[in-house]
Amino acid sequence: MDHFLYRDGVLHAEDVPVAEIAATVGTPFYVYSTATLLRHFRLFDEALEGTDHLVCYAMKAASNQAILKTLAEAGAGMDVVSEGEYRRAKAAGVPGDKIVFSGVGKTADEIRYALSGGIRQFNVESEPEMEVINAVALELGTTAPITVRVNPDVDAKTHAKIATGKSENKFGIPIARAREVYAHAASLPGLEVIGIDVHIGSQLTDLDPFRLAYQKVAELTQALREDGHDIRRLDLGGGLGIPYTRSNEAPPLPVEYGQMIREELGHLNCEIEIEPGRLIAGNAGLMVSKVIYVKHGEGRDFLILDGAMNDLIRPAMYEAYHDIVPVTEATPGVEPQPYDIVGPVCESGDTFAKARLMPPLEAGDMVAFRSAGAYGAVMSSEYNSRPLIPEVLVHGDQFAVIRQRPTFDDMINRDTIPEWL
């Protein structure tokens, strides 16, 4: 459920007509709903009610400071994967003890920065990383709380580019080697081993792969406890999928996910951490774009938009489907027609949809890409020297620009000319 609905034929973001935002900021732009962000965060929080838990938003999904602050004020922790994300989380007011640090390539500098600023735990992905965290902790005269990310060799049944839990993926340590690796960790005086971490992929639309992975984590918890480790926290990663189409997809709900977690892990009396990103931000955001031209091609019509693959790369990168709806609702009874919906970037990959049925549209009409809140703005670039597009946050009947559109000069002046030119 989200808060982007038609009222009197006009698409609204909460109580604000999308066209009013467009008139203020121009197109294309991203717009997020505070109510949807909070609703989704709370669904997870409530799904784990009664269990000692923390929902750490995977901020890679959408990391604008205003989004982070909205979630932080509701009680969210953050899952970060770089010093930049750590700094963003801190700047949004998240205390260090609610920040977990994930990722396969944390550098010594990043580790030092986070450990000095306060950290809930590092989710360690390899033995070399473990050695570096140990060395940094000793240098700072402290100990670093860690979990080890295990790779359970489970097929997440999602797009290959976002599956992370198979043995061929770069993530985690093979679960079969876990006892050995934990023994190594326990021998390092700069580390405090507190738990286990697992994350098997993103956009999972079935609970079974999660269940399989968590069963392996439950077995491992017991084995590690027998080995003398005080396993008291389980970080279960993110990955719960969202419906991208409105009809045929019904991924499990957070409440069902929470129930499954209780079933598989409740008896262990561990503190539970989860790292959802997409489910919190995905359906809380639209990308709004304007039709520049309608071009009649050979056997097909193209809708050429002012938004492009550099603004929303998911269709080009993952063949992802995004629902695209007109900002002014179609008149009932008008026959929809197929369009290839494309951006202005100079490559054929800049195609959002092929033969998509839409009401007849004309130059100047606006469309909204639904489910664009996660992995949208954060993955955008200035390819083709198209300045990054602005982000807007709606709250009831108010809206605010939360990231300005850079001017062309801002973009050009970021480059510097060497003195020999």
Q: Which two tokens stand for residue 139?
A: 């240098």
Instruction: Name the nearest CA neighbour of 325 among 279, 286, 281.
Output: 286
Cβ contacts of 100-106, under 8 Å, gap ≥ 24: 100/56, 100/235, 100/273, 100/275, 102/149, 102/197, 102/199, 102/275, 104/129, 104/170, 104/171, 106/132, 106/133
Considering beta carbons, is residue 143 or 169 the nearer one to ligand LLP? 169
Considering beta carbons, is residue 14 or 125 the nearer one to ligand LLP? 125
Shortest Å distance, C-beta 144 to ligand LLP: 18
Considering beta carbons, is residue 154 or 374 the nearer one to ligand LLP? 374
Sole binder of ligand LLP in the list 165, 237, 326, 373 (CB under 6 A): 237
Q: Does 328 bind ligand LLP (CB under 6 A)?
A: no
Considering beta carbons, is residue 64 or 102 the nearer one to ligand LLP? 102
Q: Does 373 bind ligand LLP (CB under 6 A)?
A: no
Q: Which stretch binds ligand LLP (CB under 6 A): 231-239, 351-359, 385-393, 413-421?
A: 231-239
Compute φ and ψ for 321, nearest 5 degrees: -95, 130
Q: Does 199 bind ligand LLP (CB under 6 A)?
A: yes
When computed from its CA atoms, the radius of gyration of the chain, rounded to whole angstroms, is: 23
Considering beta carbons, is residue 14 or 85 the nearer one to ligand LLP? 85
Does 297 show up as a binding residue in the annotation? no
What lies within 8 Å, CB to CB, of 398 at 6+ separation is 16
Q: Does 277 bind ligand LLP (CB under 6 A)?
A: yes
* Separate counts of helices (H) and strands (E) for the chain: 12, 21
Q: Which two tokens stand for residue 361?
A: 């549209």
Sole binder of ligand LLP in the list 28, 276, 285, 373 (CB under 6 A): 276
Q: Which two tokens stand for residue 291?
A: 């039709």
Provide the β-strand partners of residue 271. 233
Does 318 show up as a binding residue in the annotation? yes
DSSP 170: S
By CB under 6 A, what part of segment 149-188 binds ligand LLP? 162
List the catalytic residues: 346
Does 239 show up as a binding residue in the annotation? yes
Provide the β-strand partners of residue 394. 33, 399
Provide the β-strand partners of residue 155. none
Q: Which stretch binds ligand LLP (CB under 6 A): 67-75, 271-279, 293-301, 363-371?
A: 271-279
Q: Which two tokens stand for residue 150?
A: 């295990």
Q: Give burial (CB, 10 Å; 0-12/13-18/19+) of 307.
A: buried
Shortest Å distance, C-beta 276 to ligand LLP: 4
What lies within 8 Å, CB to CB, of 51 at 6+ separation is 261, 262, 266, 272
DSSP 278-334: HHHHGGGEEEEEEEEEEEE-SSSEEEEES--TTT--HHHHH-----EEESBPPPTTP
Q: Does 203 bind ligand LLP (CB under 6 A)?
A: yes
By CB under 6 A, what part of segment 10-69 binds ligand LLP? 58, 61
Q: Does 314 bind ligand LLP (CB under 6 A)?
A: yes
Shortest Å distance, C-beta 361 to ligand LLP: 26
Sole binder of ligand LLP in the list 202, 283, 289, 380 (CB under 6 A): 202
Does 321 show up as a binding residue in the annotation? no
Considering beta carbons, is residue 22 or 240 the nearer one to ligand LLP? 240
Q: Does 278 bind ligand LLP (CB under 6 A)?
A: yes
Distances from the Cα of 179 to the Cα of 62, 99, 174, 175, 417, angstroms: 35, 26, 10, 8, 54
Shortest Å distance, C-beta 275 to ligand LLP: 4
Considering beta carbons, is residue 238 or 307 the nearer one to ligand LLP? 238
Binding residues for substrate: 278, 314, 318, 347, 375
Binding residues for pyridoxal 5'-phosphate: 239, 275-278, 375
Which residues lie near ligand LLP (CB under 6 A)? 58, 61, 79, 102, 162, 199, 202-203, 237-239, 275-279, 314, 318, 374-375
